[in-house]
Chains A and B, each alone.
Chain A
């Protein structure tokens, strides 16, 4: 059962990657082509997901939006993990006062729960795709940093590091060849779980009008545009939301699968 779920996740992820890298294969039409005579059409064989206020085909737009939306998720996660790695390594490897300082600093960041840190960042640097991506990365960093720090603390006491020190290996060698690869194993799980979360957060910001803006074919922006027509034309918000969910579920299933495998071995 668990294996099956993980494979469903992998399949969905491959589908999303194809949509991101070669959207033309799945949806040959132009995502920006408007056709006012065909506006607000309900889902049908001609328009699988219906059309929007300018008669643009929503299926085509959702497929072409995959790249942008995944890129936002991946970049936000990369920013979050990158920052967390710096803090986690400083705290886990540095002298005691550095660990103390970093941990206190993370504690302060934890007092801005959830979206708050992201909103604070946006109020300083203004809304937009780039700022909202950085904001999501920043907001997720403290959580990752705490996990990385505890992992580093476990690994640095491992017997193989002691052995490497006894053999006279240098500090850099031990860091690059022993410590980082062992921390990276758990990082991989964090990244796969995190990408789904980042997409969800970034799309929430777009939905609130603080991220990507219409008419870009990005899921959050499409949702934000469809919000006005929610009561009469549900398909405008339903399908972009469905794809956000599919990517978040896929990343969660794959992440959980990896977690299980790490635990077993």
Chain B
């Protein structure tokens, strides 16, 4: 994990060096700003850009180890402070969406495993949404339906739980389609397997078989998708936070990309990469909890 983090930091550091143009100029407001030579030299000295590349790289790694991600060009604030300010909103959005998506997927998987045709239809529809509907398009459709036509919910994310409903639906619906698809297949496999027959002959009811036996098998591949789901939620958050005008990490990332605010982009990317690695590490642990076969080996 430390290796991947180091590699991510190195890749991003050198990727940034590929940017055409003078970074000192970018700090002073881009090529249009016509900064004086003295101001450029001052900016170079301030940001350590006058030193050899290798020295800059070592400084960069050293600062990273101390948790210093540099200063945003556009906001003139420490990147870590900007990230910290916005992290909470995005985490709340992502975690609640994940829970909602898992709940929908679980209900659908349970329902269609019991042979409900309606449930299969609904989960098929969600699968198509998951595979083919862009987040922004789903968000627009939900706004048109629930705000413009019905007037039930606000079209922008106002503070409080009511403003979270549409952003969460936008993120959770496609995710639940993927999860339901994976879970349904493994539940059907589990129900057809000999240990379920054995449980049945011991007198276990269909509810007990589902909750005690089949569900574990459904959880394993779904947990395996966690890292991917994290990425999908973060990508979705960029779009969703922009459309619903909700402050968060995704929207700051987009603004930073538009303004070519390199330190802020790097900071957000590194934090997301760290989050991704935490999720995959936790996934391995969760796998062992759910699947006793992994503990034995």
User: Which residues of chain A in 223-251 are interfacial with respect to chain B, using CB atoms and an 8 Å cutoff?
Assistant: 223, 230-231, 234, 237-238, 241, 244-245, 248-249
8 Å CB contact of B134 from A105, A114, A122, A244: A244
Alpha-carbon distance between A248 and B141 when the two chains are bound, in angstroms: 17
Q: Is A108 an interface position by the 8 A CB rule?
A: yes
Alpha-carbon distance between A123 and B228 when the two chains are bound, in angstroms: 23
Could you tell me if A107 and B16 are in contact, using CB atoms closer than 8 angstroms?
Answer: no
Could you tell me if B132 and A241 are in contact, using CB atoms closer than 8 angstroms?
Answer: no
In the complex, what residues of B have CB within 8 A of residue A209's CB? Answer: 258
A28 CB, nearest partner CB in chain B, Å: 28
In the complex, what residues of A have CB within 8 A of residue B140's CB? Answer: 230, 237-238, 241
Bitwise interface map of A from 93 to 115 toward B, beta carbon under 8 Å scored 1, else 0? 00000000000110110111111
Known A108-B4, A120-B15, A124-B19; contact A249-B257, beta-carbon cutoff 8 A: no
Could you tell me if A120 and B143 are in contact, using CB atoms closer than 8 angstroms?
Answer: no
With A108-B7, A111-B8, A123-B265 already in contact, 11 other A-B pairs whose C-beta atoms are closer than 8 Å: A107-B4, A110-B227, A111-B4, A114-B232, A116-B235, A120-B12, A196-B132, A197-B131, A208-B254, A231-B155, A249-B132
Q: Is A148 an interface position by the 8 A CB rule?
A: no
Residues of B at the A interface (CB closer than 8 Å) are: 3-4, 7-8, 11-12, 15-16, 18-19, 128, 131-137, 140-141, 143-144, 148, 155, 227-228, 230-232, 234-235, 238-239, 242, 253-254, 256-258, 260, 262, 265, 269, 272-273, 276-277
Could you tell me if A208 and B276 are in contact, using CB atoms closer than 8 angstroms?
Answer: no
Could you tell me if B7 and A120 are in contact, using CB atoms closer than 8 angstroms?
Answer: no
Q: Which residue of B lies closest to A247 (CB)?
A: B132
Alpha-carbon distance between A119 and B235 when the two chains are bound, in angstroms: 10
Could you tell me if A111 and B254 are in contact, using CB atoms closer than 8 angstroms?
Answer: no
Could you tell me if A245 and B132 are in contact, using CB atoms closer than 8 angstroms?
Answer: yes
Could you tell me if B131 and A234 are in contact, using CB atoms closer than 8 angstroms?
Answer: no
A229 CB, nearest partner CB in chain B, Å: 12
Known A108-B4, A123-B257, A123-B262; contact A203-B15, beta-carbon cutoff 8 A: no
In the complex, what residues of A have CB within 8 A of residue B272's CB? Answer: 112-113, 116
5 cross-chain pairs, A with B, having the tightest CB-CB distances, nearest first: A113-B231, A114-B235, A248-B132, A115-B235, A111-B273
Could you tell me if A204 and B136 are in contact, using CB atoms closer than 8 angstroms?
Answer: yes
Q: Which of B238, B256, B257 has the largest number of chain A CB atoms within 10 A?
A: B257
**Interchain Cβ contacts under 8 Å between A and B, 19 examples:** A107-B4, A108-B8, A112-B8, A113-B227, A113-B230, A113-B232, A114-B234, A116-B234, A123-B19, A123-B257, A125-B19, A196-B132, A200-B132, A200-B133, A207-B239, A208-B239, A231-B155, A238-B141, A252-B128
Could you tell me if A204 and B132 are in contact, using CB atoms closer than 8 angstroms?
Answer: no
In which size bucket is the chain A interface?
Answer: 35 or more
Bitwise interface map of A from 177 to 210 toward B, beta carbon under 8 Å scored 1, else 0? 0000000000000000000110010011001111
A180 CB, nearest partner CB in chain B, Å: 28
Q: Which residue of A lies closest to B21 (CB)?
A: A126
User: Which residues of chain A in 116-168 are interfacial with respect to chain B, using CB atoms and an 8 Å cutoff?
Assistant: 116, 119-120, 122-127
In the complex, what residues of B have CB within 8 A of residue A126's CB? Answer: 260
8 Å CB contact of A111 from B135, B148, B276: B276
Could you tell me if A248 and B239 are in contact, using CB atoms closer than 8 angstroms?
Answer: no
Known A119-B257, A210-B258; contact A113-B228, beta-carbon cutoff 8 A: yes
Known A113-B234, A248-B133, A249-B132; contact A234-B148, beta-carbon cutoff 8 A: yes
8 Å CB contact of A122 from B133, B143, B239, B257: B257
In the complex, what residues of B have CB within 8 A of residue A244's CB? Answer: 134, 137
Could you tell me if A124 and B4 are in contact, using CB atoms closer than 8 angstroms?
Answer: no
B141 CB, nearest partner CB in chain A, Å: 8
8 Å CB contact of A196 from B131, B143, B148, B256: B131
Alpha-carbon distance between A120 and B272 when the two chains are bound, in angstroms: 12
In the complex, what residues of B have CB within 8 A of residue A196's CB? Answer: 131-132
Q: Which residue of B lies closest to A241 (CB)?
A: B137
Alpha-carbon distance between A89 and B163 when the two chains are bound, in angstroms: 48
Alpha-carbon distance between A204 and B134 when the two chains are bound, in angstroms: 7
Could you tell me if B137 and A113 are in contact, using CB atoms closer than 8 angstroms?
Answer: no
B6 CB, nearest partner CB in chain A, Å: 9
A197 CB, nearest partner CB in chain B, Å: 8
8 Å CB contact of A113 from B128, B136, B276: B276
User: Which residues of chain A in 8-46 are interfacial with respect to chain B, using CB atoms and an 8 Å cutoff?
Assistant: none
Q: Which of B3, B4, B137 has the largest number of chain A CB atoms within 10 A?
A: B137
Q: Which residue of B lies closest to A240 (CB)?
A: B137
Could you tell me if B238 and A234 are in contact, using CB atoms closer than 8 angstroms?
Answer: no
In the complex, what residues of A have CB within 8 A of residue B4's CB? Answer: 107-108, 111
In the complex, what residues of A have CB within 8 A of residue B8's CB? Answer: 108, 111-112
Alpha-carbon distance between A147 and B257 when the two chains are bound, in angstroms: 30
In the complex, what residues of B have CB within 8 A of residue A203's CB? Answer: 134
Alpha-carbon distance between A123 and B16 when the two chains are bound, in angstroms: 8
In the complex, what residues of B have CB within 8 A of residue A231's CB? Answer: 148, 155
